Chains A and B, each alone.
Chain A
């Protein structure tokens, strides 16, 4: 089995998720090809020693990420390398590129993969679905494309410095131009840097509105913690974007991550799974967060948090 792994990188730094994909590819046995696109992708080749080969697509049009140019480049690589499996991360670029590649190359696409095993001419793939509340087992005929959930493997298992042979693929002419970069935008900090916080109290959708935030803010104040929110809380405008933890927010690793009313969808776990101590309160006993947290309680946060705050005040 030959696996083509899409390597995401940003300003010369390879994303951890790319090493996770290499680790998954390695676990399948067979050959691993690392696909790097950019203006000068060979510069990253020395970090991809865990692959057998580097496939580089060098073109000025690939300097910054653009959905059309990078998508066409992926399709060119698939056509030229003809892999049994293409692995991408469930990231923005993965979302943009995987489906058009599956469409153009006539390949099946399986998403949210957390485990892949080869079984003859097919892959048995386990995916998280329904917001992490269920696991789906699919039998996927190869060749195929799979998008893996960030965190599905350990980045360390796919990270190795070393020089590997580099093959080049050309970007087909006329691939770029219909989508232009207007401006790259740095993360919105808004005076808070959650990545540096030692303690975080995170409110989920169940908080219900800004008027209810006081209960979380009071507790955070007593714990000297920062207040964070999951995506629905940010999308509803209850907390600013700078306080978002998860896929489209920041990734944090505090000593304490106390979460109230957060179900624990894979997109949220991506941003906080390495926290030292995770405490989760939720009214839904089947909330996926209880599989990940260290301590959990099925309860109404509006009953428990004020009582916890009172005890902290007394101590």
Chain B
């Protein structure tokens, strides 16, 4: 790698600037997503753009290809300052982006996907198109059955097709958002091989990633963003994993001391759990995790590290490929989701609208959502309406969610108040194991602190345990008893005594450890 590194940097010096963003500021409402960020992409170079969720990576890239207009700053492409008003402008300037979730339409053939939106003529001459497609594929060392349906493609095949789509559109500046998220290590190697080849042919490649090994092994240059600010912009050869991890995560305040408690019996034990995700990839890989009564455990990690699939497996909505889940001392295999809820499993759902409420139902009807089979909300086969109304009242009162009556629809509450309501609901009726996915989403600092302090109180007082997913490490350090990190489907615990060490957990999150 060392020799290669030198050669790369020499070449980098001699090649021209393909795109330059100068002093970009982008504001969404009160949030400054990008603050005076400058960024350069050179031809012949693979450039990494790294940072936590919400650091501004995607926003910056959307500014580059014209999908977002910045409040301040200038964009120049191939040496000329340009005005980009839409993504179509970006494409006409030979900028292309492959997003994390591929835009491949499974029902169309590979060829149709390749050409979609960039068909050469109104009447498609299939044979000519196939021969041009083959030419592009051969150049990259790929091979495709162009008339096969795209649904037959593996994740790496789909990724290759996405790259060919960029070539079909004559993209010279190529942005890839988390390109290896769905790929196996071998496929990732091959992908970066292809990207290197494209760079050698004069393309400017930008890879948005949170995986430091990839940056160190395959990229020439790295730009680090944190909280919308530029933290570093330097050749990869001049940095290392520890430095990058610290630049990405930052120095936080030390953990405050939480109330003391003695962890009790094991309430949840996940052992060597492997779960397949939606795309057939192993989203959770041999994960181990133990929750004891009384404790609130943080699950740190960037979005998409397998948290979602882990939760669904614990809830009984996804069947594990292997491994076991012990819930309240009993093997949960083949135990239905509703039985698990009866045993005390509670959820604060990630996507409130889709998973946690019915918007046009009353608060009262929403109060028993997920708890509808539990006494006293149920009495025999019937709903106990008085108990349910009381419960709805408690659910609004616990975090003082502002409302105009429990008979009013859920949609009459603001997002923050809805979140207060669903968080309260999960804590109020005999919880044993609480799974909380970003439980403070949409809440201000005070609201978030209230939810966490009630969560700890519930766990301590009622001998329950909680597992909290958050993409904000500081939040977990401040409010949870200990933290484990999830990355690429694996869960790693920091060594004893370092359970809340920002540096060590940060490294585990980005696989720098």
- Co-complex (A, B): no
Q: Which residues of A contact B (CB under 8 A)?
A: none
